[in-house]
């Protein structure tokens, strides 16, 4: 064991379990596209959002972009079609993508089972030079 003293650790840093969170449908997502928001910037007061998403067959999210956010999708199971910019790629388990701010993207489940993936979103500070 290290000699580190764990004084002042905030309760929000405690270990949590996914079963504690409810599935939610996000605005702009098809019926059958749900997420569990595990870490929320609004709830925890951080610049990060971490969620697990599950899209039923044929469900997805239409093309959109985030001006001040970057995202990472990590696919756990299922198969989908991701459009990022002008490129379309098939997603399968253990594939991942980094989506930079301002890049249009969409995702649809093209498989016969649920498309399950992790999403990490980070708020990108806006430049003071604007």
- Which residue ranges make up each domain of the chain? 22-123
pLDDT: which is higher, 126 or 8? 126
Q: Is 101 exposed, middle or buried (0-12, 13-18, 19+ CB in 10 A)?
A: middle
Look at residue 38 in the predicted model and tell me its pLDDT: 94
pLDDT band at 128 (very low <50, low <70, confident <90, very high): very low
pLDDT: which is higher, 117 or 2? 117
pLDDT of residue 15 exceeding 90: no
What is the distance, to the nearest Å, from the Cα of residue 3 to the centroid of all Cα atoms in its chain? 35
CA dist., res. 5 & res. 118, Å (int): 32
- Which tokens is 39 given? 């870490």
Q: Are 90 and 79 in contact (CB under 8 A)?
A: yes
User: Tens digit of pLDDT for each residue in 56-102?
Assistant: 999 999 999 999 999 999 999 999 999 999 999 999 999 999 999 99
CATH (residue range 22-123): 2.60.120.10
User: Tens digit of pLDDT for each residue in 105-126?
Assistant: 999 999 999 999 999 999 987 7
Instruction: Specify the pTM.
Output: 0.85
Q: Name the least confident of 15-19, 21-25, 45-49.
A: 45-49
DSSP state of 30: P
Look at residue 10 in the predicted model and tell me its pLDDT: 56
């Amino acid at each position: 064991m290290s000699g580190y003293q764990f004084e002042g650790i905030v309760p929000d840093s405690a270990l949590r379990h996914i079963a504690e969170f409810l599935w939610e449908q996000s605005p702009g997502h098809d019926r059958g596209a749900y997420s569990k928001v595990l870490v929320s910037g609004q709830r925890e007061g951080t610049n990060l959002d971490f969620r697990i998403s599950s899209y039923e067959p044929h469900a997805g999210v239409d093309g959109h972009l985030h001006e001040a956010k970057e995202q990472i999708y990590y696919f756990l199971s299922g198969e989908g079609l991701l459009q990022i910019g002008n490129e379309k790629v098939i997603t399968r388990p253990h594939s991942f993508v980094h989506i930079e701010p301002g890049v249009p993207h969409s995702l649809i489940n093209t498989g016969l089972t649920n498309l399950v993936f992790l999403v990490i979103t980070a708020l990108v500070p806006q430049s003071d030079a604007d």
